């Protein structure tokens, strides 16, 4: 897939940075309030957070290990240190037993310590593959279990940590996938729209599923595949975020023609409807979201026609009854996008349509002439694609 169509996993790292900065600002505001009451030492603590180095981290790591517990302030300092410098993460990772203390706080009874530990692990997961592998091994089961916690911050931080693990460490990802991660993410992803944005985890869970579909589809076990096949049609096409769904489905199932050819009829019908909905609701390809929606809609329609020829009738019926448009009008809408990245997908889709039309006694021999796209335009776009 084209680079400019990928939703970067850096979105989570940016979210973590924004979250950490907001927490720091909140801490500063609290310190300003305290200064009015003469507690000037808090100012020094805030300044200290901005200048944590490897020596400070090593000292904190040894202290929590020695005490066999970590206070919220210890974890707050570590959390900011991990965000400031990768070397701080490496130093902590090399301290035997330190990570276990954070996990102990994560699984404790204090909600304050639990959130602080989750923040620490989230920023710690910004480290390299060995770090993420260790987090998955020692804390993966807890991260997955807490995805359905009633604590909003905890769920969000667990999702971000899991995303970092999935994006950074293949071994860590495999460990998490063995812990029923797919069903837990899916339940968060396909849920109904929630008025409170703070409690809406659909986009974060969707990106986790996107990372899995792009990198680990070939290693999903039979139980996960059966679960996804059974629940793939439960996502409402109009419920945001709706741009990831077809990509996830395509990357997981459409690399095996036999699976697509044996889709349940209701799933085939659902994918046709979802694809047409995406295209109908996208006026132009103005960004990553729109590109994802249209590219995978066309890609899925083309592949369904190739693997399930009988689906062509369903496609025509849907176009006519739901969108009041004929085949020519629909194809002209696709070509009106004039997008180099998806031109090959449109032509592949058109090729499969023509195969179906040629076997029909009512085949319109002038179909290609009715398409509102010039040959030189197609050639130009294909040249841009190859260049």
Per residue in 17-61, pLDDT tens?
565 555 545 444 443 343 334 344 444 444 555 678 999 999 999
187-210 mean pLDDT: 83
Position 28 scores a pLDDT of 43
Please tell me the distance from the alpha carbon of residue 207 to that of residue 297, in angstroms, as a whole number: 18
Picking from 17, 28, 131, the residue whose alpha carbon sits closest to that of residue 83 is 17
Q: Check if the beta carbon of residue 115 is closer than 8 Å to that of residue 74.
A: no
Determine the distance from the C-alpha atom of residue 147 to the mean position of all C-alpha atoms in its chain, rounded to a whole number. 15
Cα–Cα distance measured from residue 123 to residue 161, given in angstroms and rounded to the nearest whole number:
8
Kind and range of the H or E run holding 317: helix 311-321
- Asked whether residue 160 carries a pLDDT value surpassing 50, the answer given is yes
Q: Which H or E run includes 242?
A: none
Q: What is the pLDDT of residues 317-370, one digit of tens each?
A: 999 999 999 999 999 999 888 787 788 899 889 988 988 877 765 566 667 777
């Amino acid at each position: 897939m084209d680079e400019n169509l990928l939703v970067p996993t850096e979105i989570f790292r940016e979210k973590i940075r924004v979250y950490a900065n907001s927490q720091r600002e909140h801490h500063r505001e609290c310190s300003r309030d305290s200064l009015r009451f003469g507690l000037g030492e808090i100012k020094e603590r805030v300044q200290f957070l901005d200048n944590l180095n490897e020596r400070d981290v090593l000292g904190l790591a040894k202290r929590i290990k020695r005490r066999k517990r970590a206070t919220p302030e210890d974890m707050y300092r570590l959390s900011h240190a991990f965000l400031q410098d990768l070397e701080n993460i490496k130093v902590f990772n090399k301290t035997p037993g330190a990570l276990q203390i954070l996990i102990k706080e994560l699984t404790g009874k204090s909600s304050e310590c639990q959130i602080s530990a989750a923040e620490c692990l989230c920023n710690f997961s910004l480290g390299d593959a060995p770090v993420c592998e260790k987090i998955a091994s020692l804390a993966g089961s807890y991260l997955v279990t807490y995805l359905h916690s009633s604590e909003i911050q905890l769920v969000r931080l667990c999702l971000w940590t899991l995303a970092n693990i999935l994006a950074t460490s293949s071994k860590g990802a495999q460990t998490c996938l063995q812990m029923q991660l797919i069903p837990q993410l899916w339940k968060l992803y396909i849920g109904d729209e929630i008025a409170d944005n703070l409690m809406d985890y659909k986009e974060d869970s969707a990106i986790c599923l996107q990372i899995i579909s792009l990198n680990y589809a070939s290693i999903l076990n039979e139980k996960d595949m059966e679960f996804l096949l059974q629940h793939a049609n439960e996502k409402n096409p109009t419920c945001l975020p709706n741009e990831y769904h077809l990509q996830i489905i395509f990357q997981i199932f459409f690399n095996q023609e036999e699976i697509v050819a044996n889709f349940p009829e209701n799933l085939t019908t659902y994918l046709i409807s979802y694809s047409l909905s995406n295209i109908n609701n996208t006026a132009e390809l103005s960004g990553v979201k729109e590109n994802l929606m249209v590219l995978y809609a066309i890609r899925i329609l083309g592949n369904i026609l190739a693997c399930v020829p009988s689906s062509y009738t369903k496609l025509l019926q849907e176009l006519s009854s739901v969108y009041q448009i004929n085949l020519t009008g629909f194809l002209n809408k696709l070509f009106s996008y004039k997008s180099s990245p998806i031109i090959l997908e449109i032509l592949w889709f058109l090729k499969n349509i023509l195969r179906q039309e040629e076997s029909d006694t009512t085949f319109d021999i002038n179909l290609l002439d009715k398409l509102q796209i010039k040959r030189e335009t197609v050639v130009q776009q294909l040249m841009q694609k190859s260049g």
